[in-house]
């Protein structure tokens, strides 16, 4: 998965709270929690685990893996207002 540089520049400053909020706007429901891990489930059965630490941002590799696991495209990121 590859996004333009301006998209990555905007994404790298997103906190865990902002990513989780976007997941909820996208239709994901909090399924289970254990420690700092929160597992979200989509109605179509997809699941994604997020390690939640308030106000912390994710490193570039972890963020890239999260977006890949969730399956978001650049259009999805714009629709969810994670990037302009």
pLDDT, tens digit (0-9, with 9 covering 90-100), for 29-64 = 999 999 999 999 999 999 999 999 988 999 888 999
User: How many C-beta atoms lie closer than 10 Å to residue 19's C-beta?
Assistant: 21
Per residue in 8-21, pLDDT (tens digit) is 999 988 999 999 99
- pTM of the shown model: 0.87
CA–CA separation, 38 and 49 (whole Å):
6
Pairing of strands 47-51, 29-34: unpaired
Is residue 38 within 8 A of residue 52, CB to CB? The reply is: yes
Look up tokens 């989780």; give the residue: 20
Domains and CATH numbers, the chain: 5-79 (3.30.920.30)
Question: What are the strands of the beta sheet with 47-51, ordered from one edge?
Answer: 29-34, 37-41, 47-51
What is the three-class DSSP state of 18? helix
């Amino acid at each position: 998965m590859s996004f333009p540089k301006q998209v990555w520049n905007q994404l790298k400053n997103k906190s865990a709270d902002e990513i989780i909020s976007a997941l909820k706007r996208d239709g994901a429901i909090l399924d289970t929690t254990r420690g700092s891990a929160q597992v979200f489930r989509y109605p179509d059965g997809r699941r994604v685990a997020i390690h939640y630490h308030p106000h912390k941002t994710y490193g570039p590799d972890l963020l890239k893996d999260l977006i890949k696991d969730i399956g978001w495209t650049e259009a999805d990121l714009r629709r969810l207002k994670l990037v302009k």
